[in-house]
Amino acid sequence: MRRIYLDNAATTHVAKEVLEAMMPYFSEKFGNASSLHSFGRETRDAVENSREKISKKLNAKEHKIIFTSGGTEANNLALKGVAFANREKGKHIITTKIEHDCVLNACKWLEKNGFEVTYLNVDKEGFIDLNELENAIRNDTIIVSIMHANNEIGTIADLKAVGEICKAKGVYFHSDTCQSFCKVPIDLKSFPVDLLTINAHKIYGPKGVGALVIGEGVKIDPLLHGGGHELGLRSGTENVPGIVGFAKAIDVIKEKDIEHMKRLSDKLIEGFSAIEESWLNGPKGDKRLCNNVNFTFRFIEGESLLLYLDSKGIAASTGSACSTRAVEPSHVLTAIGLSAADAHGSLRFSVGKDNTEDEIKYVIDVVKESVESLRKISPLTKK
Amino acid sequence: MNEGIRYSKKIMDLFLHPKNVGELKDADGVGKVGSAVCGDVMVIYIKVAEQAGKKIIMDTKFKTFGCAAAIASSSMLTEMVKGKTLEEAEKLTWKDIEKALDGLPLVKTHCAVLAIDALKAAIKDYKQKLKGEKE
Ligand SMILES: Cc1ncc(COP(=O)(O)O)c(C=O)c1O
Ligand code: FES
């Protein structure tokens, strides 16, 4: 059967050149990067060259890059690490209602441990109100955490504007950029961001590797204590093949791939818009991530549409891809004002650089048919 | 919440090719349960006739807004009750549906419970209508 992968926001395949770059670091160059002998030196060089490359990509000369086991760990390190290291300054944290679960659940955990968290509202396209942010910052606010591109609806936040507000108010600014890294330009020289989360498996790199980029002078405690790796901020023998693959992956997505993904996404949006009682969630135009299409098809339930499409070889996603299914409707879709019923009837299609126009045509046809079939079974359909 | 869900082949077959989908215009009983807010709504229609002093479910149809398990459960239920007496139908439990579907993922048992609730609501509706006619 023909298989079409439209779940690139959940994860991507590892690009061939990335895999090739990683291969020597499993068996051939296997040394512990902390060892002083030649075996260790060759992997140390690989780790430091990778760090250098990622630092250049972000124009982050003044920042340090701390490799982690992925986006989840980097977000946890940013929030918990900064919260605990700055307790004497205060106990207040600001984030938004549409963050990834790893940020929201880290915040919930911090609330159980004596911190207070403000969850900012977003408008119907998923944007925060900068005035609301400014007013929410208190004397005891330690950190503001606002994601760059939203993983469910593709809304791209204005990092520069948020960063400037945080800078003026003297609070740390953290941003989760797992979805936007290498798709939307990020320049830490001109964006005042103190902490930035990135990971590899959304950009054709391996799973299980990411990094927290930390600005100069940021007070932060580690989560993992041990041998003092990664400047003492993340102990544990470095995942050398993963780190090498991560650094290689940052070159995979080219400008023309971004344009291609944007074109395919627009085609999907146009095709789905012809289906009655359906709409695009999130913004249109250049404030939308190039590869995200999130659609509500009223009167049908997302999981059943997902499985229907799966039976035809098409892979999409409901709600947040990292948890296959919560019975709760998506917190992002309810935050932008969808009713629970409509949130249940929504699906995310995230294109990749290797999808083709022909595939997109097929997907539009199959989605039309599938929505029609499921609406025949639904008691909510008006007809 | 994060362990993923695997359905039996039976569930997938019924989900993709459900039986008895639709409405019964002249239904004797209609049962509607669930809510769109929770992500599931089920409606079961039954047509009842008396044969040799017994009340028999002659026909059933359903409409469901919900996950694959909910659609398969309601389809299975309509097949299971067709031709049964009301007493027999009332004895069915969600476990019977689960068995007929070759098992249900743990987090999906409520979808079968919902199907049983819809059937009970339809039978209740039928009995109430009957009472109304007699009065
Ligand atoms: C926005 C966002 N943040 C964080 C993560 C978690 O990253 P990881 O899977 O590397 O832990 C993801 C996706 O997985 C994501 O989309
Ligand atoms: S309808 Fe609720 S999960 Fe099946």
- Its CATH class, for the domain covering B9-128, is alpha beta
B113 to chain A, any CB pair closer than 8 A? The answer is no
A102 is an active site residue: no
The whole-model pTM stands at: 0.94
Three-state secondary structure string covering chain A? CCCEECECCCCCCCCHHHHHHHHHHCCCCCCCCCCCCHHHHHHHHHHHHHHHHHHHHCCCCCCEEEEECCHHHHHHHHHHHHHHHCCCCCCEEEEECCCCHHHHHHHHHHHHCCCEEEEECCCCCCCCCHHHHHHHCCCCEEEEECCCECCCCCEECCHHHHHHHHHHHCCEEEEECCCCCCCCCCCCCCCCCCEEEEECCCCCCCCCCEEEEECCCCCCCCCCCCCCCHHHCCCCCCCHHHHHHHHHHCCCCCHHHHHHHHHHHHHHHHHHHCCCCEEEECCCHHHECCCEEEEEECCCCHHHHHHHHHCCCEECECCCCCCCCCCCCCHHHHHCCCCHHHHHCEEEEECCCCCCHHHHHHHHHHHHHHHHHHHHHCCCCCC
Say yes or no for a CB contact (<8 Å) between B71 and A311: no
Nearest chain A residue (CA) to B36: A341
B107 to chain A, any CB pair closer than 8 A? The answer is yes
Strand A172-176 relative to strand A195-199: parallel, antiparallel, unpaired? parallel
Type of residue numbered A218: V
- Return d(Cα B118, Cα B111) in angstroms, integer: 11
The structural domain count of chain A equals: 2
* Last-in-domain residue among A249, A284, A307: A249
* Last-in-domain residue among A249, A271, A291: A249
CATH number at residue A286: 3.90.1150.10
Could you tell me if residue A356 is inside a domain?
Answer: yes
Residues A169 and A236 in one domain: yes
Chain A contacts of B71, Cβ < 8 Å? 304, 377
Residues A120 and A239 in one domain: yes
Could you tell me if residue A213 is inside a domain?
Answer: yes
Helix (H) / strand (E) element for B119: namely helix B109-134
Determine the atom of ligand 1 nearest the C-alpha atom of A201.
10
B82 to chain A, any CB pair closer than 8 A? The answer is no
Could you tell me if residue A368 is inside a domain?
Answer: yes
pLDDT of residue B3: 56
What distance in angstroms lies between residue A148's CA and the mean position of ligand 1's atoms? 12
Nearest-CB residue to A377 (from B3, B37, B63): B63
Q: Which residues of B are catalytic?
A: 38, 111
Considering only CA atoms, give the Rg of chain A. 21
Sequence ranges of the domains in chain B? 9-128
Residues A276 and A132 in one domain: no
Could you tell me if residue A382 is inside a domain?
Answer: no
DSSP SS3 for B7:
coil
- The ligand whose atoms approach the alpha carbon of B118 most closely is 2
Could you tell me if residue A181 is inside a domain?
Answer: yes
Residues in B 56-75 with any Cβ partner in A closer than 8 A: 63-68, 70-71
Chain A contacts of B4, Cβ < 8 Å? 324
Pocket around ligand 2: residues whose beta carbon is below 6 Å from it? A 327; B 39-40, 66-67, 69-70, 108, 110-111
Q: What parts of chain B have a pLDDT lower than 50?
A: 1-2
Half-sphere exposure of B95 (CA within 13 A, CB side): 1
pLDDT of residue A82: 98
Say yes or no for a CB contact (<8 Å) between A379 and B1: no
Domain that holds residue A80: 16-249
Nearest chain B residue (CA) to A312: B16
What distance in angstroms lies between residue B29's CA and the mean position of ligand 1's atoms? 49
Residues A172 and A96 in one domain: yes
Tokens of A362: 């097929």
Determine the atom of ligand 1 nearest the C-alpha atom of A102.
4
DSSP SS3 for B50:
strand
The torsion region of residue A307 among left (phi > 0), alpha (psi -120 to 50) and beta comes to: alpha
Residues A290 and A241 in one domain: no
CA distance B56 to chain A (A): 25
CATH number at residue A115: 3.40.640.10
Residues A230 and A363 in one domain: no
Residues A39 and A185 in one domain: yes
* Last-in-domain residue among A249, A278, A300: A249
Q: Could you tell which of A12, A68, A72, A184 is best to mutate to test the pocket of ligand 1, judged by most ligand atoms within 8 Å of the CB?
A: A72
Residues A281 and A214 in one domain: no
- The ligand whose atoms approach the alpha carbon of A96 most closely is 1
pLDDT along chain A (383 residues), means of 10: 96 98 98 97 98 98 96 98 97 98 98 98 98 98 98 97 97 98 96 97 98 97 97 97 98 98 98 98 97 97 94 87 54 95 94 98 98 95 67
Report CA dihedral (A363, A366, A368, A374) to the nearest 10 degrees: -130
Residues A195 and A105 in one domain: yes
In this predicted complex, what is the ipTM?
0.91
Residues A211 and A259 in one domain: no
Nearest chain A residue (CA) to B9: A311
Say yes or no for a CB contact (<8 Å) between A344 and B18: no
CB contact at 8 A, A118 and A136: yes
- Return d(Cα A115, Cα A72) in angstroms, integer: 20
What distance in angstroms lies between residue A311's CA and the mean position of ligand 2's atoms? 19
Tokens of A224: 């993992």
Residues A224 and A118 in one domain: yes
Residues A244 and A128 in one domain: yes
